[in-house]
Amino acid sequence: MDFPQPLHVSEIADIIGAEIKGTDNTAIGLNELHVVREGDVTFVDHPKYYNKVLNSAATVIIINKEVDPPENKTLLIHPAPFDAFNQLIMKFRPFQPSNAAISVTAKIGKNTVIQPGAFIGNNVVIGDNCIIHSNASIYDHSIIGNNVIVHSNSVIGGDGYYFQRRPQGYVKFHSGGRVILEDDVEIGACCSIDKGVTGDTIIGKGTKMDNQCQVGHDTRIGKNCLIGAYAAIAGVTVIEDDVILWARVAVNKDITIKKGAVLLATSAVDKTIEGNCTYMGSPAIEVKKYWRQYVAMKELPEFMKKFR
């Protein structure tokens, strides 16, 4: 998530009430660790991740521990880095109520049809020759390419499902990212595609999604994928090009499904899997192995009779 213009660390420190240590830097945006770039502000509030974050590409790090700043980095010492980072997201990407079904700040391309009842939010960009069907909602800052179809009741750009648990309850991690639908994508009815928390959720060119699918925050789906009905894809997941997920496939967070993989219906994936192979089961395994195990299980009762 980029700032409207680069910010000096002193400006950031003033907003969140932090102590500055280290290099006198400027920052270009906010990002979590998995998408952080040089020039970004990120945060860390758990000892498990201190070293990883301190050695990341981030230029400015909000941290709740007094440590020596790495070379050319700025530390902002704050007792609650999560809250401070949330405060920055809400300042630079606040919720903006809309006063019309199609925001005056939206940019809509040639020959694109917005059916009655659809909602197009603030700063949305939609390309040429698209169809947005009735009751679809395109939330703020979403970007849609050319020749895209979004069917009725789908939501593009809802908040990421991301909460920090505390003794008094859950604290929401506010979403400042976007959804990007590339050219020739089709989204079925009643789908939900969550925006990134700080980065982008991306659906690649030519990918087709059936009805009632869920895509979590910061997930990246490649080109020419097929996503069957009721698929549930968790956040921060990478699905490479030419992958097929048939109906009711469930995909865990922060894993990769490599190019050309096929997951048969009702499978569940809990770890990174290789491409150009077909999988089945929960947890998913290579389909030939699955069927050998299935046949063996069917024969198990007869086999056990030998030991009675």
Q: What pLDDT digit, counting tens, does each position of 237-292 carry?
A: 999 999 999 999 999 999 999 999 999 999 999 999 999 999 999 999 999 999 99
pLDDT in tens, 125-140: 999 999 999 999 999 9
Q: What pLDDT score does 164 carry?
A: 94
Give the separation between CA 184 and CA 204, rounded to whole angstroms. Answer: 9
Q: What pLDDT score does 299 carry?
A: 83
**118 is a domain residue:** yes
Residues 84 and 112 in one domain: no
The boundaries of the domain holding residue 46 are: 2-92
Comparing 63 with 304, the larger pLDDT belongs to: 63
Residues 38 and 111 in one domain: no
Average pLDDT of every residue of the chain? 96
**306 is a domain residue:** no
Q: What pLDDT score does 190 carry?
A: 98
Residues 250 and 202 in one domain: yes
Q: pLDDT band at 201, cuts 50/70/90?
A: very high
**244 is a domain residue:** yes
Residues 211-218, mean pLDDT to the nearest whole number: 98
Give the number of domains in the chain: 2
Residues 47 and 12 in one domain: yes
Residues 107-113, mean pLDDT to the nearest whole number: 98
Residues 71 and 200 in one domain: no
196-202 own/partner pairs: CB under 8 Å, 24+ apart: 196/1, 196/35, 196/160, 197/32, 197/160, 197/162, 197/173, 198/1, 198/29, 198/30, 198/31, 198/32, 198/35, 198/89, 199/1, 199/31, 199/32, 199/34, 199/35, 201/177
Residue ending a domain, among 92, 125, 142, is 92
pLDDT of residue 303 exceeding 80: no
| Residues with a known catalytic role | 217
pLDDT in tens, 173-196: 999 999 999 999 999 999 999 999
pTM here is 0.94
Question: CATH number, domain at 229?
Answer: 2.160.10.10
Q: What pLDDT score does 305 carry?
A: 78
Q: What pLDDT score does 217 carry?
A: 97
Give the separation between CA 60 and CA 26, rounded to whole angstroms. Answer: 8
